[in-house]
Structure 1
């Protein structure tokens, strides 16, 4: 190609580039700038809504905590203001009944069947135990198995496990002992 042809080709590319830039700037359908500002406005309104919701929930939680503390203080006031022994003993019985109700109930024993397949690592068993709510932290149980060198001894099969078992008992069961 000659020098003249290359200059004409370069001029054509330059002019077509200018035309593309002008059309993208001057066309009314320029979505890039308008779309971003609309999106920002939507996000700001959502943030405002969520902040209001958080404030409402905090107020509700505070009022609920206050009513709970008032209910706890009320039986103590009743026993202090009683004049006769009969009133005092009946109020004490009420307080004892309420304290029995406030005691946390023991968690029910959870029983589950854990299945370990051939070639599966001990972390699979730990994951199943956590999903069945037998243990609280699968990483803690898995590190227990690793620390005591039980991990390679875990055997494939199905095992009946319950939530009252200790880590050691669960490990012994998973090893087939």
Structure 2
């Protein structure tokens, strides 16, 4: 028969056991989480490199993205074709409204970061990180299509995204 005294004794036993187990893990057990918190920067880089990841600073990453965003023209192609490609990419200013129009050329295999970088350099978007986040959050970054698109600096993020994607 369960009376008040037996229930209290049982509850005290459960509480005491939980305290003993918690104390053991807090003081005597060094978990892998604790070990990882004590890693130096060099040890963390080595651990990531061993796992197959490439570690670079923010500046190195931005330089890489900028370098990859530049259009590649084969040296065997005539220079007139290069001039035509540059002519397509030139931006025109609409002086009456302050609207800037840009002919965006997206090549097969370009990453969304490269496209965002081009739009930022041409001042179509003001914040490249915000637009990149918008593309990823709304699922547009996986739907970008190769082609030539006319975009302006007064377009919303949604309008830009819909212009360069399947949607």
TM-score, normalised with respect to structure 1 = 0.39
More helix by share: 1
Which structure has the larger Rg?
1
Q: TM-score, normalised by structure 2?
A: 0.41
